[in-house]
Structure 1
Amino acid sequence: MTLLVLSGADVRALFPPKEGLAPMREALMALARGEVCQPLRPVVAPEGAKGLLAMMPAHTPDAGYGVKIVCLFEGNTALGLDAHQGAMLLFSGETGEALALLNASVLTELRTPAVTAVATETLARPDAAELTVIGIGVQGAAHIRTLAAVRSWRRVRVVARDHVRAAKVCAELSSELDLPIEVASSAEEAVRGADVVVTATNAPEPVLRREWLRPGTHVNAVGSCVAHTRELDPPTMAAARVFVDSLESAVNEAGDYVFAARAGVIGPSDLTPLGEVLLGRAPGRESEGEITVFESVGLAIQDLAAARFVHTRAVETGAGSRVEY
Structure 2
Amino acid sequence: MKTLLLKKEEVRELISMKDVIGAVEEAYKAFNSGQVEQPDYIGMHLPSPGSEIDFKLSHYKANQLISMKTSSGGFADNPTAFGLPSGMGTILLFDARSGALICVMDGSLITGLRTGAAGAVSVKVLARKDARRITFIGTGNQARMQIRAIREVMNIEEIHAWDNSADTLSRYKSDIESEFGIPVVIASSKRDAVEQADILITTTRGKGSLVEADWVRPGTHIVAIGTDQRGKQELDPEIFRNAKVVVDSIAQCSEKGETWHPLDRQIMTKDGIHGEIGELLLGNKPGRENDQEVTIFDSTGMAIQDNTTASKIYSNAVKRGVGALFEFFES
Question: Does TM-score exceed 0.5, indicating one fold?
Answer: yes
Residues 82 and 105, structure 1, Cα contact 8 Å, conserved in 2:
no
Which consecutive residues of structure 2, in runs of 5 or more, have no partner in the other structure? none
Separation in structure 1 between the aligned mates of residue 78 and residue 138 of structure 2, nearest angstrom: 11
1:205-261 CA-partner distances (Å, limit 9, x unpaired): 11111111111000000000002111111111212111000111111111x222211
**Cα offsets for 1:56-109 (capped at 9, x unmatched):** 110011232110012232646997976542210001122111111111111101
| Equivalent position SS for 1:281 | coil
Q: Is residue 183 of structure 1 aligned with residue 186 of structure 2?
A: yes
1:55 aligns with 2:55: yes
The change in CA–CA distance for 1:188 and 1:74 in structure 2 (over 3 A counts) is farther
Q: How does 1:153-168 map to 2 (within 5 A)?
A: 153-168=156-171
Confirm whether residue 172 of structure 1 aligns to residue 185 of structure 2.
Answer: no
Matched to 2:5, the amino acid is V
- Structure 1, 223-232 or 173-182: larger mean CA deviation: 173-182
Q: CA deviation at 1:306?
A: 0.9
Instruction: After superposing the two structures, state which structure 1 stretch, 285-294 or 11-20, moved more.
Output: 11-20
Q: 1:309 aligns with which of 304, 308, 312?
A: 312
Q: Are 1:7 and 2:12 counterparts?
A: no
Is the counterpart of residue 228 in structure 1 residue 231 in structure 2? yes
Partner in structure 1 of residue 279 of structure 2: 276
Matched, 1:215 2:215: no
Structure-2 change in CA distance of 1:8 and 1:179 (3 Å)? same
> Do the aligned residues in 2 keep the contact of 1:74 with 1:202 (CA within 8 Å)?
no
Give the gaps of 5 or more residues in structure 1.
none
**Offset of 1:16 from its aligned partner?**
1.5
1:31-50 aligned within 5 A: 31-45=31-45, 50=50
Q: 1:12 to 1:164 in 2, by over 3 A?
A: same
76 and 240 in structure 1: CA distance in 2 versus 1, 3 angstrom threshold: farther
User: How many residues are paired up?
Assistant: 324
Name the SS of the counterpart of 1:250 in structure 2: helix
Cα distance in 1 for partners of 2:206, 2:76 equals: 12
Amino acid at match of 1:270: G
Aligned counterpart, 1:318: 321
Kindly, what percent of the aligned residue pairs are identical?
A: 30
Query: What is the aligned counterpart of 2:132 among 121, 129, 132?
Result: 129
TM-score (norm. length: structure 2) = 0.92
RMSD across aligned C-alpha pairs, in angstroms?
2.0
Q: Which has the higher helix share?
A: 1
Q: How is 1:18-167 mapped onto 2 (pairs within 5 angstroms)?
A: 18-45=18-45, 50-63=50-63, 64-73=65-74, 75=76, 84-167=87-170
Q: CA–CA distance in 1 between the matches of 2:234 and 2:62?
A: 35
The reply on whether 1:297 has 2:300 as its aligned counterpart is yes
